[in-house]
Amino acid sequence: MPTSLHRYDEPGHVHFLTVSCHRRLPFFGTPDIRDAVADSMRRSRGRLGFRWIGFVIMPEHVHWLVLPQRSDDSDVIPISGVLQSLKTSVGMNVKRALRGVWGRRRSLGHPGLDRWATAHTDHKPIWTTRGIDFNVTNISTLRAKLDYCHANPVTRGLVDRPEDWRWSSYRFYELDDRSSLVMDWDGGDSLF
């Protein structure tokens, strides 16, 4: 792993995290698997107490906007701990769900995923080793990153409109839909 990459834990900074799936395989290519990812995201927040600002779950990567501070104090939760919790929880939950799909169908619906499933090794990673961590320090950059997340499924041709993709924070902010994952920001200018 490169040693020149650093994560900066600064009070009040939102982190825009991008994490890709192993070999860019579409591990999150089906609705039930994306639901498993969202469930893991909820559990990680419950364990650590960080705040969700935005997200999108794509078939082969995720974008997460998190504020690694509890709402009741200003202590920064190390972003490396947040990222480790998310990657571990999602990885375990997704692998469990994929085993169920494999058991029913004997295929994960993609040649690369089928090769991954039948590989003769105990180490079957879901994630790439390293993701991208960008510190967001102002509202205009935060809104741009959030817009990028919400446009991603449309840009990729997965849906025609952002509200049609259930696995992003768009529906929370624009439709007050709390069925996937509730955000910890009201969308105003008071976060920073």
Name residue 15's beta-bridge partners.
66, 135
Residues 30-48: tens digit of each pLDDT: 999 999 999 999 999 999 9
Q: Is residue 21 part of a domain?
A: yes
How many domains, in total, are found in the chain?
1
Q: How many CB atoms lie within 10 A of CB 7?
A: 14
Q: How many percent of the chain have pLDDT more than 70? A: 93
- 158: domain CATH number is 3.30.70.1290
Q: Is residue 3 part of a domain?
A: no
Q: How far is Cα of residue 166 from the mean position of the Cα atoms in its chain? A: 13
Q: Is residue 2 part of a domain?
A: no
Q: Is residue 93 part of a domain?
A: yes
Containing structural domain, residue 165: 14-175
Two tokens, residue 95:
């692998």
For residue 7, what pLDDT is reported?
A: 65
Confidence of residue 1 (pLDDT cuts 50, 70, 90): very low
Q: Is the pLDDT of residue 4 over 60?
A: no
Q: Is residue 41 part of a domain?
A: yes
